[in-house]
Amino acid sequence: MADNIQKNDIVAIETLKGELVASGNSLLNSNEILEADSGFAVNVSKVFMKPDTYPRFWK
């Protein structure tokens, strides 16, 4: 994770394998993201990964 993310920066969301999932604007800065236990960190604007690429195990 980058340590210099500022609010409203354009960020990418990737899998642990480095595959691009989505992009959007950061709602938090780097420190706030690291300190957060839950919640939204990105306002997603575009999803790149096709549905059902991975099995659904998150609910």
pTM here is 0.79
Q: What is the pLDDT of residue 59?
A: 57
The Cα–Cα gap between 10 and 43 comes to 9
How is residue 54 annotated by DSSP?
S
pLDDT in tens, 27-58: 999 999 999 999 999 999 999 999 888 887 75
Sign of CA dihedral 18, 35, 43, 25: negative
Which residues are CB-contacts of 49 (< 8 A; sequence separation ≥ 6)? 15, 19, 20, 21, 22
Q: What is the pLDDT of residue 33?
A: 93
Q: What is the pLDDT of residue 1?
A: 62
Domain boundaries, the chain: 1-59
**Fold category of 1-59 in CATH:** 2.30.130
57 or 25, which is more confident? 25
CA distances to 2, 24, 41, 56 from 19, in Å: 16, 15, 19, 17
